[in-house]
Structure 1
Amino acid sequence: MAVSVISNRAALRSLFVIQLLSMGAMEMSAPFWPQHLRALGHLTSHELALASGIAYAGPMWMAMCLTPWWGRLGDRIGHKPMLLRALLALAVTQLWIASADDTVTILVARLVQGALAGFIAAAQAYGACLVPSDKRGSLMAKLQVATAVGAMTGPLAGGWIFDALGFRTLNVVAAAICLVCAIVASRVLPTALPLASNPSLGMSPQKPFTFGAVYGLVFAIVLVQTGKMMPQTFFGLFAEQVLHTPAWVTGLCYGAPALGLCIAAPFWAKRFENKPRAVILSQVQWICWACAAIVAVQATSRELSLFVLARVLWGVCMAALLPVFFGLLSREADTHQQGRVLGVGNSAAKAGALFGAIAGSLILAWIPIHYAFWPVVAIYAMAAMGLRAMRKRPGPIQQQRTTGLHKSKLSPIQPINQGKQ
């Protein structure tokens, strides 16, 4: 038994490093798509805007549509093959992009990349099969930290490579990193999942999955991801026109939430570990209200130090949202259905990102830049009220299961008489 636990811990550490490196590799090119597309051909400003939009939003759209399917396939054949498939797809499509000489080919490669990848969902499902159900929230937080660190370090490394060697070399380097990650994953990560077949270690018994059990969490994921993504569209203009900051300060402010997320994610994971869902939802509801208040500070503050502090605190609060929601989603299914339920959650996150980008564009077009953050405040208020309704209202998420976590404890989110049935 001790050997299995140690093996799983080593696998989780390896998974963390692989996710950090692969996501960092994919973020290396993120800031530079408009420049590269402009350099490829004679595009008008409208054509460049459209091509850039497809380059950014196209992969998210494809992943949103296909990630649940990949998750269900992983439930049938195993999640390690899905990890390897995603990493190899990233490597091949990055090489395709590096060799492409026209805009259309690059955009097609980006769409194929979104359709075939889905690494984050595969990593979550694989990791969920290595830990007991009450530890899955902590797992999601650690994987979120890996993604956040990759998102911070990737563009920095990408900027250096872009300036020194160009966009094509940047993509070749990213492909090489993903290929190395795939080779390491194939050799290091175990195929057998000891905890998946050991109910004594806290794994939930197999039970049918119903969307009704998770619809509230999916809706919450869409809202908080929308709120997170909305400012990205107008943030640069807000910093320039309202805060009057130089470019390097704008970059500092832009990355500040990721710093807060990395610092706070382990704290929130530990705080919510082994907590009943009613308690978690109650506390996350207040965290959403805190997000609304902190974004309101960003909307009204003209003092740079206070603005940066608010950005960091926003990241601290965001660290308690998506990882916690994914952890609760993972609890709603047994180890044989992790790919499906987490695929649905990741599709919701992609949908929220798309809605956020669209909403941010509409804000930029219709709302004066001084008031651009106020719709974000409204989104977080909606999320808080939705969580309150989900917690108070009897429904599938309140009644679905108690046997999968701790059979000796009755979750306060259930009706009392259900424990006597």
Structure 2
Amino acid sequence: MLSKFKKTIFKKRAPWEQNLVVLWFGTFMAGMAFSEVMPFLSLYVDTLGQFSKQQLSFYSGITYSATYLVTAFVSPLWGRLADSKGRKLMILRASLGMAFVIGAMGLVSNIWQLIALRMIQGFFSGYISNANALLATETPKEKSGLALGTLSTGYVSGNLIGPLLGGLLAEFFSYRITFFITGAVLLIVFFLSYFFVHEHFHPVQRAKPLSTKEVIGKLQNPKIVFGMFLTTMIIQASNNSITPILSLYVRQLMQGIGPVTLVAGVVAAVPGIATLFSAPRLGELGDHIGTEKILSIGFIFAICMYIPMAFVNSVWLLAFFRFMVGISDGAMLPAVQAILSKRSPAEVTGRVFSWNQSFQALGNMSGPLIGSAVSGSFDYGAVFISTSVLVALNFILVQIVSRLEQKKAN
């Protein structure tokens, strides 16, 4: 029966398209599971002790960032194993491990237990990066922009739509029950990946894995690759600077009246709708006019959308500008993945994408800490000003890296 189901779903599809379909659903569900806690994480922290406003912002930032601190260090290890043992194995490890860890978060009794579990969650990272690496190695280079752009909508849309589901679950059930449900969702991802993802993996036969220096030597233009790593870090820092205090900002705008958790979930989720529709089209457009151009346009548009968020007096205006930021995400995130794919030989793709995940994790870690520090010292609106500055710095970085590559080509 399973064989018949596969034939029905994948009829007349190329092998890379088959993987794209399966991995899209896997990354969507994984992204949704990861972000379900976003609307209420700071509110959950508030139930674990008696905290001042500054302490609540601080602990919320630490709790959110703890996962990514560990991820930044372990990702290269998983990347090396992915290149020698296969990306599918890493996908299974990540989804199964996080299923149990996230479920356990519903059982904590104090803030330190929650922070510890968030750190352990970081140890089981790697589903998204290995999904990207697996697809990148088996997709024709001329189709990589379309494929990776489409795949990014799975994670990004799940990651940004997840808060809506999390807000609904927390509103109608409880914070703790939502963690149990999230763990169950990741367990479903594990089984989907186990049965439906197929990798034609051929490990490179060598006495020992390539060293970091040897991997860099395989790259045609290491400067552009490392420039994209830094770009990934800043994009993620910008996107996540508001994350730990988003529900607190929504509560302030609503003056504490009404279903704060549910509305916070809507505000956190609306960028996913824009990203879902914009990323594949912008990724395909990048294949025709140049991925770097799409990336630059995304930066400029994001700057124009972040600044007004600091001055809104309505939660629905905040939601509107968040929606527009989703369009810029649809331009930036797939563009970076496509640039890395086109400049990475297949034998080191796993390492390159794992390094990129480390920088992504550093951005995910530093963004909330910056947001917490700024909101604790000033106010919630000031976080958006600091975020626009980060995006502007990223835009300058991309321009510098692009010019260096052009000079080398000439």
Bin for the TM-score computed over the shorter chain = 0.7 to 0.9
Residue identity opposite 2:98 in structure 1:
L
Residue 27 of structure 1: aligned partner: 35
Change (3 A) 1:234 1:49: closer
Deviations 1:58-106 (A, max 9, x none): 1111111111221121011110101111111112223443455555444
* 1:145 corresponds to which of 141, 153, 158: 153
* 1:312 corresponds to which of 315, 323, 334: 323
Q: Kindly state the Cα deviation for residue 207 of structure 1 after the two structures are TM-superposed.
A: 7.2
Change (3 A) 1:44 1:122: same
Deviations 1:306-357 (A, max 9, x none): 6654432222122111211121112221122111111111221221222222
Deviations 1:219-275 (A, max 9, x none): 222222222222335555666667979746665444332222222111101101255
Residue identity opposite 1:359 in structure 2:
I
Aligned pairs for 1:269-348 within 5 A:
269-273=283-287, 275=289, 279-299=290-310, 308-348=319-359
Residue identity opposite 1:221 in structure 2:
T
Deviations 1:170-217 (A, max 9, x none): 3333223222321222222113259x9xxxxxxxxx971475441211
Contact 2:142 2:287 in 1 (8 A): yes
Residue identity opposite 1:264 in structure 2:
S
Q: Kindly state the Cα deviation for residue 36 of structure 1 after the two structures are TM-superposed.
A: 4.3
Residue identity opposite 1:349 in structure 2:
Q
Larger mean CA deviation between 162-171 and 75-84 belongs to 162-171
1:111 aligns with 2:119: yes
Larger mean CA deviation between 326-335 and 23-32 belongs to 23-32
Measured in 2, the distance between the counterparts of 1:301 and 1:119 equals 36
Measured in 1, the distance between the counterparts of 2:400 and 2:159 equals 33
Measured in 2, the distance between the counterparts of 1:161 and 1:300 equals 30
Measured in 2, the distance between the counterparts of 1:98 and 1:305 equals 31
* 1:191 corresponds to which of 196, 199, 217: 199
1:208 aligns with 2:218: yes
> Kindly, what percent of the aligned residue pairs are identical?
20
Measured in 2, the distance between the counterparts of 1:236 and 1:29 equals 11
Residue 389 of structure 1: aligned partner: 400
Residue 10 of structure 1: aligned partner: 18
Contact 1:134 1:274 in 2 (8 A): no
Measured in 2, the distance between the counterparts of 1:100 and 1:303 equals 34
Consecutive unaligned residues in structure 1, runs of 5 or more:
197-205, 400-413, 416-421
Contact 2:99 2:182 in 1 (8 A): yes
* Partner SS, residue 354 of structure 1: helix
Change (3 A) 1:208 1:362: same
* Partner SS, residue 331 of structure 2: coil
* 1:268 corresponds to which of 282, 286, 289: 282
Residue 61 of structure 1: aligned partner: 69
Measured in 2, the distance between the counterparts of 1:96 and 1:262 equals 31
Measured in 2, the distance between the counterparts of 1:226 and 1:361 equals 12
CA RMSD of aligned residues (A): 3.4
Larger mean CA deviation between 136-145 and 330-339 belongs to 136-145
Change (3 A) 1:354 1:127: same
* Partner SS, residue 39 of structure 2: helix
* 1:364 corresponds to which of 349, 363, 375: 375
Measured in 2, the distance between the counterparts of 1:37 and 1:326 equals 34
* 1:182 corresponds to which of 190, 198, 201: 190
Change (3 A) 1:191 1:4: farther
Contact 2:166 2:265 in 1 (8 A): no
Measured in 1, the distance between the counterparts of 2:16 and 2:305 equals 38
* Partner SS, residue 31 of structure 1: coil
Measured in 2, the distance between the counterparts of 1:39 and 1:372 equals 24
Residue identity opposite 1:120 in structure 2:
I
Residue 83 of structure 2: aligned partner: 75
Change (3 A) 1:306 1:160: closer
Measured in 2, the distance between the counterparts of 1:31 and 1:241 equals 14
Q: How many residues align?
A: 384
1:352 aligns with 2:360: no
Residue 133 of structure 1: aligned partner: 141
Q: Kindly state the Cα deviation for residue 291 of structure 1 after the two structures are TM-superposed.
A: 2.0
Residue 3 of structure 2: aligned partner: none
Measured in 2, the distance between the counterparts of 1:305 and 1:104 equals 34
Residue 130 of structure 2: aligned partner: 122
Consecutive unaligned residues in structure 2, runs of 5 or more:
1-9, 205-215
Change (3 A) 1:80 1:249: closer
Measured in 2, the distance between the counterparts of 1:159 and 1:235 equals 12
Residue 257 of structure 1: aligned partner: 271
Contact 2:40 2:247 in 1 (8 A): no
Residue identity opposite 1:133 in structure 2:
K
Deviations 1:279-314 (A, max 9, x none): 332342233122222323444566877665443222
Residue identity opposite 2:218 in structure 1:
P
Measured in 2, the distance between the counterparts of 1:273 and 1:347 equals 26
Q: Kindly state the Cα deviation for residue 126 of structure 1 after the two structures are TM-superposed.
A: 1.5
Measured in 2, the distance between the counterparts of 1:163 and 1:373 equals 27
1:222 aligns with 2:233: yes
